[in-house]
Structure 1
Amino acid sequence: MKHELIPLTDEERWCRALDGMATPLAHSHAYCKALSLSVEYELFLYRCDGDGGKAVCPLGVRRLSATAPPELFSPYGSGGFVTTWPSNKGHSFFAEWTDFCRREGFATAYIVQNPAIELPTDMVHEFEEQPQVVYLLDLTPPLKDMFSSLNKTHRYEIRKVDRDHTVTIAHSTPVLHEAFLELYPQTMQRVGASDCYDFSRETLKAFLEIPEMVPVGVIVGGKVEAVSLFILPEGNGRGDCNVMEYFLSASTSAGRKYSRNIIWNALEMQKKRGAGLLNLGGGVAPGDGLDRFKQRFNAVPCNLKALKQVVLSTEYKQLCLSAGVDSNSQDGYFPPYWKNRKSSTR
């Protein structure tokens, strides 16, 4: 098998590697370039060719210090591996992958798999189930059946707003773009969001310039009260990936109540265009208010799965020792010395 890491600076090779594959937007050069405007780590596209197929995966490369060995991890977004192999190729791939990581000097690898992307059976066995839950909503049933299956509070609130003639739901207008740029940092500060959501204005603007990244918002009395960004599953040569994603949201304090209508309006629009699945994401913590809000759409809970791999055991133990953490820690955070470090995601 042939392995390579394609740098963000080589846009042509990056796009060529994805040609014909059904990949999520998080794999695209445009998405990763936008993300790079907010982070300190380097971004690459991993590609493996051989045995009649290939695999691709967006990767970040970080170091605990200037002299520490590099480590691989999943950048923000619904990434992970996408392959074209049948189910019996996964086992041989991971042996090759581990050898590649060892040759390149990567101490660890932490890859979070997109829950909407199926992997060959042998590859799935290498991933550990995580406590984090995301919600996947099937968009194939008739719309009236989907609405009937919503939690009764969701149904009531959606109908209530629909009857309010002062409320307008808009898509992809310049006023939504400007409002999102202003409201997003205010919202993140108000809710005390994690560092991983701390995107620069340049990144947000670049996201809005991606054709598949569509803002849907609520305007009340001429004022934008809420805007959400959805990733739409169409266009630009990304194969037949038909998964829609509820990506980022921003609102005024009063505008939070319109989230149900924004999601329902966006899924209704994309259902008509053939989207088969909506990834709603999850809560900040299992069972919190945001988690329950998404569950009430009658979405199916799905535990995230991650590859947690120690490639260079001696170097890994030394990194743990230097940070004062147990190299045998089973508390779920991997690698344990990155916990509570802002640079782990920036």
Structure 2
Amino acid sequence: MSRQTLIPLDDRAGWERALDGLPHAFGHTWASCRAMHLTTGWPTSLYVWEDGSSRFACAIAERGGPGTVDVVTPYGFGGFVGTGPEGGLLPQWQEFARARGYVCGYLGLNPLFVPPVCRASGDYGEHNDVHVLALDSGPDRLFARLSGNRRRQVRAFETAPARLSADRERLAEYFLAGIDDFLRSRGAGYASLLGGRTWRALLERDEVFVLGVEEDGSLVAASVFAHTPYCGEYLFGISSPAGRAYSAVLVWAAALRLAESGVPRLNLGGGVRRGDGIAAFKERFGGERLPLGALRQVYRPAAYARLCAAAGRDPGDRTGFFPPYRAPRDGRQATGGAS
């Protein structure tokens, strides 16, 4: 007999118990989802499906009013994770979603932990790649996999007139003061423009750390990383013009720190689009390239078609932003959803 439950954010202990023993990333955790909720305000829960020896979980957020509610995975690398036979997972999830009155769902999937049944679904589509470092291969192999330019950057920093900083309080202050302007100056998608309460909630977590570089006593760059026992993630980075050259050094320093802590992998993420400059920067660390995909599901076809028509969108097109009736008018974050 299977069981499906929704664990709300106000039940932190229940959320953490449900994830215990399931390989997962920071985007699945109560801490990450609560931080995102502080910006979105969307009701956020952990969906849990259990059937015999199987247990799967997926963080979800509901948006919209009566008759128009759709469901998304909170910002980050989340999606379904679990252990055990998974054959009944998606059919029963879809029944659950219809019973909840959801019109449709955009469920981003973490490429490190995505259940095979999700990739086999007709609702699955890939829109990007991520680059993942195998930290458990050892520092020598990690270094050998760096591109020639990356190796030169790491070695050059050893004699550079700059130094690494791990001063948590000082780095958090620098990051909070500069992150909004930094992202806007680079035309970041709206999902990256998170509120100050979200940034503060992230930076106060033990699972999150910040590394920075200072020159002549002044910070010029800072990068934020998060981790679970199963993987680390490069979350965000900012820099002054003088600090841009240190981005690779900060990623390398974080990789060594996570490896020393026993974290087996570091997900660097990808670019805004496949093959762009950001993706090329991450590719030069020599990690494994994994496809990034999502489930784009429709639970109430008539309501979905009506909402698309009202927004002047094609209900048959699931290749861009999903659901299309929520697509930003300025075209930002064109790959869809909240992940």
TM-score for the superposition, normalised by structure 1: 0.90
Gaps of 5+ in 1: 235-240
CA drift of 1:264 comes to: 0.6
Rounded to whole Å, the distance in 1 between the matches of 2:67 and 2:242 is 47
Rounded to whole Å, the distance in 1 between the matches of 2:252 and 2:90 is 40
CA drift of 1:172 comes to: 4.5
Rounded to whole Å, the distance in 2 between the matches of 1:128 and 1:96 is 17
1:1-346, aligned counterparts within 5 Å?
1-63=2-64, 66-85=65-84, 89-119=85-115, 121-126=116-121, 128-164=124-160, 166-234=161-229, 241=230, 243-340=231-328, 345=338
Rounded to whole Å, the distance in 2 between the matches of 1:95 and 1:345 is 23
TM-score for the superposition, normalised by structure 2: 0.92
Per-residue CA deviation, residues 120-177 of structure 1 (Å, 9 max, x unaligned), is x33431252312111111123332232222111111222222211x311122432111
Rounded to whole Å, the distance in 2 between the matches of 1:118 and 1:43 is 20
CA drift of 1:189 comes to: 2.2
Q: Matched residues, percent identical?
A: 30
CA drift of 1:23 comes to: 2.4
- SS in structure 2 at match of 1:37: helix
Q: Match for 2:63: what amino acid? A: R
Per-residue CA deviation, residues 163-204 of structure 1 (Å, 9 max, x unaligned), is 11x311122432111111112122112212111111122111
CA drift of 1:220 comes to: 1.0
CA drift of 1:315 comes to: 1.1
Hey, which bits of structure 1, 4+ residues long, moved more than 6 A? none
Which 10-residue stretch deviates more, 300-309 or 22-31?
A: 22-31
Q: Match for 2:97: what amino acid? A: C
8 Å contact kept, 1:91–1:123: no
Rounded to whole Å, the distance in 1 between the matches of 2:6 and 2:188 is 32
Rounded to whole Å, the distance in 2 between the matches of 1:130 and 1:259 is 27
CA drift of 1:246 comes to: 0.6
8 Å contact kept, 1:3–1:48: yes
- SS in structure 1 at match of 2:40: coil
8 Å contact kept, 1:57–1:82: yes
Per-residue CA deviation, residues 71-121 of structure 1 (Å, 9 max, x unaligned), is 111110111111121xxx3232211111111111111111111111142x3
Q: Match for 2:78: what amino acid? A: G
8 Å contact kept, 2:27–2:77: yes
CA drift of 1:24 comes to: 1.7
Q: Match for 1:19: what amino acid? A: D
Rounded to whole Å, the distance in 2 between the matches of 1:43 and 1:181 is 25
Residues 144, 20 of structure 1: alpha-carbon distance in 2 compared, 3 angstrom cutoff: closer
- SS in structure 2 at match of 1:180: helix
8 Å contact kept, 2:145–2:287: no
Count, aligned residues: 332
Rounded to whole Å, the distance in 2 between the matches of 1:282 and 1:48 is 30
- SS in structure 1 at match of 2:198: helix
8 Å contact kept, 1:172–1:214: no
8 Å contact kept, 1:24–1:79: yes
Per-residue CA deviation, residues 13-68 of structure 1 (Å, 9 max, x unaligned), is 323322333322222222211111111322111111222221111111112xx454
CA drift of 1:69 comes to: 2.2
Rounded to whole Å, the distance in 2 between the matches of 1:277 and 1:84 is 19
CA drift of 1:275 comes to: 1.9
